């Protein structure tokens, strides 16, 4: 299946729009069913030295992953980057950087960089821009949609239970997702510099874990 990046509804609406609010609820359910945040949290648990230097999540959404990490690993520096404003309920120890991801990464460094269902929004030339910026981190942990016809078929079973925007965006996200081998190449995760582990899940996730050699 050829990769196609199309606009998602929630990216074109203000953060307080009812469709966006409903989509956030849907996304929490989808993340839970796919085990996305649980997987990222487990990987971060394997790198205590890098974790101690801090975790930055790009495309942090509502910050639920960082909140989870803060409870599991009290005291580690936690930073979020997202175009949306800081959620009012987010614990104050989590730093929020509301701006473009490339501007943020140009000034940031740390132990671990995390991205959950975020990179599929970018076309290939933009994805290649991440490569030099990833070198500022020791570990990169990514979860994205696994781009297959089966994933789309499985997602359609959820359509009756999600909101209007999610009905559209869920399928669009999968079509913009990745297959094994694509992300490491696009992000410049060269084997000379990175140990890369890539896997897929039967729930429709493509997962990449890279640590510095």
How many residues comprise the chain? 213
* pLDDT > 90: percent of the chain: 69
**pLDDT band (50, 70, 90) for residue 12:** confident
This prediction's pTM? 0.92
> pLDDT of 35-58, one tens digit each?
899 999 999 999 999 999 999 999
Degrees (nearest 5) of the Cα angle 97, 102, 105?
A: 60
What's the domain count of the chain? Answer: 1
Look at residue 88 and tell me if it is in a domain.
yes
Residue 101 lies in a domain: yes
Instruction: Share the mean pLDDT of the chain.
Output: 92
Query: How confident is residue 60, by pLDDT bands cut at 50, 70 and 90?
Result: very high
Three-class SS string for 109-149?
Answer: CEEEEEEECCHHHCCHHHHHHHHHHHCCEEEEEEEEEECCH
Residue 40 located in a structural domain = yes
Amino acid 14: pLDDT: 86
Q: Is 4 a member of any domain?
A: no
CA 125 to chain centre: 18
Query: pLDDT tens for residues 70-103?
Result: 998 999 999 999 998 898 889 989 999 999 999 9
What pLDDT, on a 0 to 100 scale, did the predictor assign at position 30? Answer: 87
Mean pLDDT of 103-127: 94
Would 112 be classed as within a structural domain?
yes
Q: Which residues of 38-48 are buried (b: 16+ CB within 10 A; e: fewer)?
A: ebbbebbeebe
Pairing status of strand 194-200 against strand 205-212 = antiparallel
Query: What burial class does residue 21 get, using C-beta atoms within 10 Å of its C-beta: 0-12 exposed, 13-18 middle, 19+ buried?
Result: middle
- Strand order in 94-97's β-sheet? 94-97, 78-81, 55-58, 110-116, 137-145, 205-212, 194-200
Tell me, what DSSP letter sits at residue 73? S
* 9-13, 137-141, 176-180, 181-185: least confident range: 9-13
Domain of 48, CATH number, reads 3.40.50.150
Q: Has residue 109 got a pLDDT over 90?
A: no
Asked if the structure places residue 53 within a domain, the reply is yes
Q: Which residues constitute the domain of residue 71?
A: 9-212
């Amino acid at each position: 299946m050829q990769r196609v990046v199309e606009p998602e509804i929630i990216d074109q609406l203000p953060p307080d729009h009812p469709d966006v609010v409903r989509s956030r609820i849907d996304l929490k359910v989808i993340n839970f069913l796919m085990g996305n945040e649980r997987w990222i949290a487990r990987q971060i648990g394997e790198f205590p030295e890098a974790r101690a230097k801090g975790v930055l999540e790009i495309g942090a959404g509502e910050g639920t992953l960082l909140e989870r990490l803060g409870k599991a690993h009290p005291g580690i520096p936690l930073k979020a980057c997202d175009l949306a404003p800081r959620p009012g309920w987010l614990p104050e120890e989590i730093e929020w950087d509301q701006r473009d991801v490339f501007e943020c990464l140009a000034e940031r460094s740390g132990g671990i960089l995390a991205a959950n269902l975020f990179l599929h929004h970018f076309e290939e030339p933009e994805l290649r821009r991440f490569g030099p910026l990833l070198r500022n981190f020791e570990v990169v942990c990514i979860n994205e949609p696994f781009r297959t016809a089966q994933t789309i078929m499985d997602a359609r079973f959820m359509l009756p239970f999600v909101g209007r925007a999610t009905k559209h965006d869920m399928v669009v996200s999968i079509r913009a997702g990745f297959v094994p081998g694509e992300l490491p190449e696009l992000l410049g995760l060269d084997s000379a510099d990175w140990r890369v582990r890539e896997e897929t899940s039967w729930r429709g996730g493509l997962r990449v874990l890279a640590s510095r050699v």
